[in-house]
Structures are given as structure tokens and as C-alpha cells.
Amino acid sequence: MPVATPAQYRAMLDAAQKGGYAYPAINVTSITTINGALRAFAEAKSDGIIQVSTGGGEFASGTSVKDAAFGAIVLAEACHLLAEKYDILVALHTDHCHPAKVEGFLKPLLQASRERIAAGKGPLFQSHMFDGSVVDLKENLEISKELLKECAELDIILEVEAGCVGGEEDGHDTSGLPADKLYTTPDDMVQVYEALSPIGRFLFAATFGNVHGSYKPGAVKLKPSILRDGQKAVMDKHGAAAEMDLVFHGGSGTSESDLRETLDYGVVKMNIDTDTQYAFTRPIVTHICQNIEGVLKIDNEVGDKKTYDPRSYLKKAEAGLCERMKEACNDLLSAGKTIFGTV
């Protein structure tokens, strides 16, 4: 089954850490975006991560329902079925969940996994993100420890964040934060490791100037050396085995040199959303512009059903997303490195 088991997901992360590459983690909102992601991973012969945000879950539940957890369950169950057609592994993950949304989003998803496991299946999601960057580090870690205990009981990995990713995503706007809040310190990383490593496996989204959204080259000042220094502080104190699995958020517009440098410092997962949103939407716009009379029934004409049939442009959107995801696999050096069939 190409949706990774917990053991296979751990093996994926271990392989990336050992091999110096990272998995693209794409936010999905629909069957079409799931299919585009799966096709991309398969064509690139790369394993990968498919994730759902609170806003993506809410959208998927329907505009009259607006239930983020329910929509996330719908997308995850669809992914479990669709992934069976591909010879690569994917892990399912949920993106930023702030403290205020834990009870309404994260806890119901953990319960869904609990029920699946009781029925003899694996967890619904293989990992979840708790984003406690909106509170101080002490409170962040206290909540993270409790959530990690619950996740570990279900063989689920927890992703945590210390420091803030700038910009705006899913209605959460940190664009007004002072610059120093965008950089995790070595002491922060040591505290995270010491608080969480005794409990279970976790991913850590350390911040090094990351900003959500799309920017021209040079607008975002990344400092990948922060990851290097933080990992060194952890390993100097606790040994080489303490190297953490890091996550890169807000990577749109990152230079190839900066991106590749982060791989040297333990990044095994990179979120990609803004760029794939554009890659999905651009072919739709082109289709509309090239078929404007058929789509809009101009001057009381009847139009052309073939051009306003949603399938005609959503196929192109899926293909556009697929091409951008294959580019991400190449950039992150995961292409050609699937461990499907070996674990």
C-alpha cells in the first residue's frame, strides 16, 4: 500500500537524512490536486508527503459545511485509495495547527486514526504539525509534549515549530513581526530536543528567515547557517545521533544554493504550496483566455460545452501542478530515490 505505514514513514525520513535529500510536501485541497501530486511523485520516482491545512480541510468539506477536520478526513481517505495505483510511497500530514485549533482540528484527526487502528488499519495521517510559534517557547513545549505523547501512542510523528515563519498563510498573518522572531536560536533547538526526544519521534520546523508567499529573488533573507549552528549545539551536547529531522517552510523563491545548503544541515521535508497553487491556476487562465467565446457565451451565443466543461481545464491544471512538483523533486534531490518495495 503506497500510503506509508508508520515504519515506512520512519524509513523514508531516515533515508532522506542519510542520503542528503528532502521530500516535497504539497498542500492539497481536492481530488484533482491529490492526483497531480501522486502523478508527479510517480513520474519522478520520488516518495513524498501530501498534506492538508486547516483552510484546505475546511474548503474540502464544502462551502456550506466548513468543517476543517471533516474535510481533512475526506481528503486523507481519498488519498489512501488513490495512492494504491502508484509504485511510490506517500505519507499524509497536516500543516500548521495553532493552539486555538487543536481541539477542533488536531484532536478529531487523532481520534479518526485511533478508530482506524482499532479496526486493524494504520493511522489516517502519518504525522501532524502543531504550530506553537504564537506562544512563548515554554508554553509551546508544554503543549507539544502532551500532543507528542498522544501521537506516539498511535505511532504518529509530530512536527513542531519554534520561531515564526513570516508572511500570511490560511488567514494567519505574521507579516508585522520583528525580524528577530523569524530566526530560531541554537538554545531554542537544544530546548526542543531535550523536551521532546524522550517522548517520541518528531520533526522540527526551525525558522531561519522563512516567509510564506511568493517573492522576487533577494526579497527574503534566509540564513541557513542557523540550522547548521542549531544542529551543532544539539549534537555537541547529546551526540551525533541527536541530529534532528528539520522542515523548511516558506521556501518559494529560494535560490538553489540556499535550498541545497539546507539539505546539508538536516532538512528532510520542504513545504510547497504557493508555487503549486500558481502552477495549477496558470493553465486554467490560459485555457479561459484562449477559449473566451466558448466559455462565456458572448453576445448571446451558445458557447462551446467542451471548453467550459470543468474537466477540460482541470486536466491542464493537474498537469501544470505535476510539472512543478517534479521540479521540486529534482531541486530537493529526491527524484529517483523511492524506497517503495524495499521496506
Q: What are the catalytic residues? A: 95
Nearest to 51 by CA among 87, 15, 16, 75: 75
* Helix boundaries (H) for 83-127: 107-118
Pairing outcome for strands 172-173 and 168-169: antiparallel
Q: Is 222 helix (H, G, I), strand (E, B) or coil?
A: coil
Q: How many CB atoms lie within 10 A of CB 252?
A: 20
- Phi (first) and psi of residue 280, to 5 degrees: -75, -40
Rounded Cα distance between 229 and 16, Å, is 20
CA 95 to chain centroid, in Å, comes to: 6
Q: How many CB atoms lie within 10 A of CB 198?
A: 9
In the chain the first and final C-alpha atoms are separated, in Å, by 11
The label of the residue with cell 487523532 reads 110
DSSP 134-152: TS-HHHHHHHHHHHHHHHH
Rounded Cα distance between 279 and 275, Å, is 6
Q: How many CB atoms lie within 10 A of CB 95?
A: 23
Rounded Cα distance between 79 and 32, Å, is 11
Rounded Cα distance between 130 and 139, Å, is 12
Q: In Å, how far are 15, 87, 172, 197, 267 from 242, measured between CA atoms?
A: 16, 32, 32, 9, 14
Tell me how far apart the 2 most distant CA atoms of the chain are, in Å. Answer: 74
